[in-house]
A and B are shown apart, each in its own frame.
Chain A
Amino acid sequence: MDSTSRLSRRHLLKWTGAAGTLAVAGAMLPNFGISAALAAELGDGDIGVLNYAYALEQLEAAFYTTVLQNPFGEMQVNDQRILTQIRDHEIAHRDFLKGALGRRAIPALEVDFSAVDFGSRRSVLGTAEVFENLGVAAYNGAGQLISNPDYLVAAGSIVSIEARHAAAITDLLRPFSAEAAGRGVVDRKGLDKALLPSQVLPAAAPFITTPVTAATLP
């Protein structure tokens, strides 16, 4: 992805948001082919939780897509293979949730990875590790907010893949270390982290330009 055009589009959206009319945005941005998301409210109940997951999967899918479009200098075959598989998983998660939500899905979110140095293996994998661990904690904390058992199993089918990603990324950074088995994240009771949307969204916010609100989620 060309970061210049991405940044300028972001600023344009901010500017048009300040100008305050969707009509202006529509008139000025005829060629982007997406519904320009000026804000996204996740919604209530199970829909809110699924949109929350959809927002996080959008972030992850966009991140790995950018990583593979701008491979860091010392990207090994093994790095590329694992990052490609993870990207494909995140895209599958994103599309699965979008499909499940149908017309109640939030729009495509604008992302901002300007804090990431895509030329640096350490920066990229460090960011990936943060995103994966954040995703695990987010799903773990959101489980109790889900009412429909089918959605709970679906979320479960995703979260353990995120946990596998976290271990694989940590293993790329620190091969065959105890951290790859969870040390440093898992507590002494043997429990992984669990965070509420109100804790996760501020952590994700620096990477998401579109304001994401969760008026009724804890």
Chain B
Amino acid sequence: MDSGGADAARILSEIKGLKATKSDIEAKISALEAQLKDLNCRNDAVSSNGSCPLATSLDSGLGHGLSPEMIHRYSRQLLLPSFGVQAQSNLLKSSILVVGAGGLGSPALLYLAACGVGRLGIVDNDEVELNNMHRQIIHTEAYIGRLKVESAAAACRAINSTVQIVEHKEALRTSNALEILSKYDVVVDATDNAPGRYMISDCCVVLGKPLVSGAALGLEGQLSVYNYNGGPCYRCLFPTPPPTTACQRCSDSGVLGVVPGIIGCLQALEAIKIASAVGEPLVGRMLLFDALSGRIRIVKIRGRSLHCEVCGENATFTRQQFQEFDYEKFTQSPLSASAPPKLNLLSGDSRISSKDYNERLKNGEVHILVDVRPEHHFRIVSLPNSLNIPLSTLEKRLAEISSALREAEGQRDASLYVICRRGNDSQRAVNYLHDIGFTSAKDIIGGLESWARDVDPSFPTY
């Protein structure tokens, strides 16, 4: 049995190594292909706007700038009477920037690459993680731990090697946003946080770029086109940012993978319509997608606000003001949406590390462990013998803690520990417990995440 296990481990490690090599080679091939294309492009040296596909096809003599290969590749779009050669030609000359290669950006990028945008930019500085895979369908397992931009660029090149893919391997900030966005005709906001949405919208106003904005959380999605054809900007609609409690993250609230997928596809559609100048863009309207009830509603939203601080009649929001604006302070939340900031509500003697807690557990200390996560989190995974009392119900369920303590006590005083996922709610709970007389309550620092990191690496994290 042992040798069988060792064999399996050896094979697994060999597979892992080969997969890594394979994805390296694939990335190298696609980078070389892009390089070759650039080279050919420069040699042709007839490009009028930096868009290579047009340059190579000007000599086709067909009057619309599409090469025979392009005609074949995009034939199903050319056959559409309301799209046709003119729209395709517009698309091939256009450039679109997608900010965020996550749940929204994945399908948006795949379709934009496939449909024949001239130049496609990707901005992101995150790495691919296992818990992204259910929704960020542009990435493959081989890219886990590597930059999303590299992964997304390779996937786009694999679909359509004739599109120029530009990799921006950096977080979008006020310091680089003007420079990056100014190089594109259309901007797609596929980010996952509130400050990013205000920053991108403001930047689009300053630069006069149309913005295709999509968002998804849980089982709902929203979509609108801002700052285009006299329509409103994001700030016209939401001049006051939502409080941090209302800014939920996919990493806290969850999201069904296909929901951002649908919104991302619709973002690609709106971007294609704008870039190719067909149809009626979703300006002054907001699409609301409700996955659970299977409903899509489109509501009319307000027009441009004359009093908008950024795009209003008397607004003087300059490039410099943009660069100096503190979007994280404005929205009270960080530009990266990975994890919430760590609270520090309690004094040191009211807290205990997960390692210390483990020691006390091994020494057989009599205690009660209260897990204050929501019930559906508790059902995913929990520590043995913990009592689930969600923070929101703590006030009503104090009697359960009292009776558990009484039961455990016997002759000695039983200790009371509180745990949650990351160590913030447990501090709020301990704070409350202290206030109402459970003075011995202690918070386990860093929650179950620290337990998984420092005590039991096999404990699942989510």
Decide whether A and B assemble into one complex: no
Q: Which residues of B contact A (CB under 8 A)?
A: none
Q: Which residues of A contact B (CB under 8 A)?
A: none
